[in-house]
Structure 1
Amino acid sequence: MSKTKKSEFRPNDYVVYPAHGVGKIVSIEEQEVAGLTLEMFVLSFEKDKMTLRVPTDKATVIGMRSLASPDMIDKAMTTLKGRARVKRAMWSRRAQEYEQKINSGDLILIAEVVRDLHRTDDQREQSYSERQLYEAALERLTREVAAVSGGDEAQAAKQVDEVLMSRAA
């Protein structure tokens, strides 16, 4: 295995892993798997008390990416301001689509889910599964906004909430 291609990811970088959201690269270590020595990123997801090992040569293929740029955060906020687009499909099909968007790791798609599932107090009640998907998307969005701004999650949640409320007004 050649070490010529240097990865764009370094220890202590915050990255987005599609299925789990924002994590931190704690180290890069070598591990023997089935007789092969693989170089692995060791990702820590503090909130979920989870550690993940990702082969360095597979990281980009599986969609691991750097945190969004401030510009991308602005685009996500603009997406939140848009009108909710709810398809007339059956809930099971829509839920599957929302799930795919959340697990894509794409900030804009995650913002779409938050926008489409957000309810103001005077709107109809959310079903349990709607609320679950909404909260999962909101958490992913908020964590990345917090990580990019270097602020805390409470501040990021307030920022996202203000955008959603301004839309309702």
Structure 2
Amino acid sequence: MKTPSFRPGDRVVLPPYGVGVVRGTCQRPVAGETLAYYQVDFPNTSSRAFVPVNAPQGTGMRPALTTGDMPNLLKHLQAGQELNLPRQWAARHRRVTEILSSGNPYELATLTCELRRWQVERGLPDLDRQAFRRAIRLLEEEVRGLEDPCARDVQQFLDRAWNETAH
């Protein structure tokens, strides 16, 4: 499998931190040798991460969604595919944490739909509501700044879902 290559200015996702921007590469000494790293800065924070150039997939780093990905993401959100989360809290919490940590936008969309359904049917316990909001925020980060009608539809869907957590 080919190692992905990133350039300065590329929007990337680094789970579970969210969307960042590759600022460039740098050399850093590690265990007696000098290795190349991508410097990833996170907008509106002073946070940054250094990701090995030779193995970014080991950290889960991937390109952020683009406008071309929006129709598929919207389809996932509108389909409302069931996730069949465990009813027992500890098992459910473990599975939800895995999905949030993975950063996979389509799994996050499915989780958002499932927790939204639970919210409508019976209301969410506090920790599930926090997970619901976290999933929405992670998706919003990827959609933010994309300017096309489908991206706006995704954002409107996420806004409605967020407003439902207030009740």
Paired residue total: 160
Q: In the alignment, does 2:43 pair up with 1:34?
A: no
Q: In the alignment, does 2:37 pair up with 1:57?
A: no
User: Which residue does 2:112 correspond to in 1?
Assistant: 114
TM-score computed with the length of structure 1 as normaliser: 0.78
Q: Deviations over 1:104-149 (max 9, x none)?
A: 1211001111111126986433211011111111011011112444
Q: In the alignment, does 2:27 pair up with 1:16?
A: no
The structure-2 alpha-carbon separation of the partners of 1:122 and 1:10, relative to structure 1 and needing over 3 Å to count, comes to closer
Question: 2:4 and 2:75 mapped to 1: Cα distance?
Answer: 32
User: Which residue does 1:93 correspond to in 2?
Assistant: 91
Structure 1: gaps spanning 5 or more residues: none
The structure-2 alpha-carbon separation of the partners of 1:121 and 1:134, relative to structure 1 and needing over 3 Å to count, comes to closer
Question: 2:81 and 2:4 mapped to 1: Cα distance?
Answer: 38
The structure-2 alpha-carbon separation of the partners of 1:6 and 1:122, relative to structure 1 and needing over 3 Å to count, comes to closer
Query: How large is the RMSD of aligned CA atoms in angstroms?
Result: 3.2
Question: 1:82 and 1:164 mapped to 2: Cα distance?
Answer: 18
- Write the mapping of 1:19-168 to structure 2, written as runs, cut at 5 A: 19-83=16-80, 85=82, 86-118=84-116, 123-149=121-147, 157-161=155-159
Structure 2: gaps spanning 5 or more residues: none
| Secondary structure, aligned partner of 2:5 | coil
